């Protein structure tokens, strides 16, 4: 299996420019100390207002830059929105789409997320599409049904281009594990990741399915990262709270090395 691990920091609505600078400075320093080690791909997704400053700071490093959301529309009269092109313009190569906070607080459904994915590809970004069940859905035995619905929505909207399909990143984030300190067990994560992988195989064929990365997100910390990342279909993590402390984020990156 030739999937490169990816650890992505989702800073959410945190960080004025000064704090963002300090945080990314700490990450860069830690990565410098790990130079020569075979570490995973590292991505930071600051709030929009800090992206440019963070981008300048990471210039020349291996750290990648991403947005946390974008509009599905082309440029025009959409007050308060931004296009994918605006993200690429300031150095982003990734964008997180359909995070559960966007789905639950801002009414984003799987169809909208699929349209945003189309726009992200069009604008030259790699989409990280988030999926995951609520506690109620898990407790009523509906986890895999919810995942099936959320993942199915993106298939008709994937580009025909094979290389672009292989770039796709999915992030399984059980809603009940986000910011709660409750992590899915490695077995729970692997069960869902394997289910998603099987869907990818059925829809896109073995070759593409074996290249698509599936991240786990939800209360990943330095002390639980390694065991979650050790599962065969877990290709890295989408990190919220622990991405706001350089030391913790670096500890999670170390977890990828097993
Ligand atoms: P958490 O958030 O690591 O704070 O649980 C993960 C996420 O929402 O992406």
Atom in ligand 1 nearest the alpha carbon of residue 10? 9
217 in contact with ligand 1, CB cutoff 6 A:
yes
Please tell me if the CB atom of residue 224 comes closer than 6 angstroms to any atom of ligand 1.
Answer: no
- 213 burial (CB, 10 Å; 0-12 / 13-18 / 19+) is buried
Q: Tell me the pLDDT tens digit for each residue of 86-121.
A: 999 999 999 999 999 999 999 999 999 999 999 999
Residue 99 bears catalytic tag: yes
The span from the CA of 198 to the CA of 63, in Å, is: 31
Residue 44 DSSP SS3: strand
Is the shortest distance between the CB of 10 and ligand 1 below 6 Å?
Answer: yes
CB-ligand 1 contact for 143 (6 Å cutoff): no
Q: Residue 200 above 80 pLDDT?
A: yes
Residue 258 pLDDT more than 70? no
CB atoms within 10 A of CB 1: 7
In the chain, DSSP assigns E strands to 6-10, 41-45, 64-67, 94-97, 126-131, 169-172, 213-217, 236-239
- Ligand 1, residue 178: give the atom nearest the CA: 5
Average pLDDT, the chain: 96
Half-sphere exposure of 76 (CA within 13 A, CB side): 4
In ligand 1, the atom with minimum distance to the C-alpha of 180 is 5
Q: Considering the chain, what percentage of its residues have pLDDT values greater than 90?
A: 95
The whole-model pTM stands at: 0.97
Nearest CA to ligand 1 atom 6: 240
Per annotation, catalytic residue among 41, 99, 101, 133: 99
CB 172 within 8 A of CB 193: yes
Place of tokens 């959409």: 78
DSSP lists the bridge partners of residue 42 as 7
Which whole number is the average pLDDT over 227-231?
Answer: 96
Q: Which residues pair with 237 in a beta bridge?
A: 7, 216
With a 6 A CB cut-off, is 236 part of the ligand 1 pocket? Answer: no
**Band of residue 2 on the pLDDT scale cut at 50, 70, 90:** confident
Closest residue by Cα to atom 2, ligand 1, is: 240
Identify each DSSP E strand in 68-208 by its residue range: 94-97, 126-131, 169-172
Predicted confidence band at 1 (pLDDT cuts at 50, 70, 90)?
low
Sign of CA dihedral 79, 84, 89, 91: positive
How far apart are the CA of 239 and the centre of ligand 1, in A? 5
Alpha carbons 101 and 108: distance in angstroms, whole number: 9
Residue-wise over 67-76: b if at least 16 C-beta within 10 A, else e?
Answer: bbbbbbeeee
How far, in Å, are 79, 95, 99, 158, 163 from residue 117 at the CA level? 20, 9, 12, 8, 15
Question: In this structure, how many other beta carbons lie within 10 angstroms of the beta carbon of residue 163?
Answer: 9
Phi, psi (deg, nearest 5) at residue 160 = -70, -30
| CB contact set of 136 (below 8 Å; sequence gap of 6+) | none
pLDDT-derived band at 136, boundaries 50, 70, 90:
very high
178 lines ligand 1 (CB under 6 A): yes
- The one catalytic residue in 41, 108, 137, 173 is 173
**For 13-70, how does the pLDDT look when each residue is reduced to its tens digit (9 = 90+)?**
999 999 999 999 999 999 999 998 989 999 999 999 999 999 999 999 999 999 999 9
The question of whether 133 is a catalytic residue gets the answer no
- 132 touches ligand 1 (CB under 6 Å): no
Nearest CA to ligand 1 atom 3: 240
Per-residue pLDDT tens over the stretch 144-199: 999 999 999 999 999 999 999 999 999 999 999 998 988 999 999 999 999 999 99
Output the pLDDT for position 219.
Answer: 94
């Amino acid at each position: 299996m030739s999937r490169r691990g990816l650890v992505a920091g989702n800073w959410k609505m945190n960080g004025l420019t000064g704090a963002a600078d300090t945080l990314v400075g700490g990450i860069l320093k830690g990565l410098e100390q790990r130079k020569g080690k075979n570490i995973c791909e590292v991505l930071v997704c600051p709030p929009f207002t800090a992206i440019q400053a963070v981008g300048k700071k990471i210039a020349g490093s291996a750290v990648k830059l991403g947005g946390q959301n974008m509009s599905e529309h082309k440029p025009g009269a959409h007050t308060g929105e931004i296009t994918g092109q605006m993200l690429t313009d300031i150095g982003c190569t990734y964008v997180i789409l359909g995070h559960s906070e966007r789905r639950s607080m801002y009414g984003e459904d799987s169809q909208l997320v699929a349209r945003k994915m189309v726009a992200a590809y069009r604008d030259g970004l790699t989409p990280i599409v988030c999926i995951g069940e609520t506690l109620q859905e898990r407790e009523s035995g509906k986890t895999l049904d919810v995942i099936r619905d959320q993942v199915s929505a993106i298939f008709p909207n994937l580009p025909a281009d094979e290389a672009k399909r292989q770039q796709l990143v999915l992030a399984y984030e059980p809603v009940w594990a986000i910011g709660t300190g409750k992590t899915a067990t490695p077995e729970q994560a692997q069960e869902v990741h394997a289910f998603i992988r099987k869907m990818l195989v059925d829809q896109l064929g073995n070759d593409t399915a074996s290249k698509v990365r599936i991240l786990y997100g939800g209360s990943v910390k330095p002390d639980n990262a390694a065991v979650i990342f050790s599962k065969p279909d877990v290709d890295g993590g989408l990190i919220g709270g622990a991405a706001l402390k350089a030391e913790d984020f670096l500890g999670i990156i170390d977890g990828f090395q097993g």
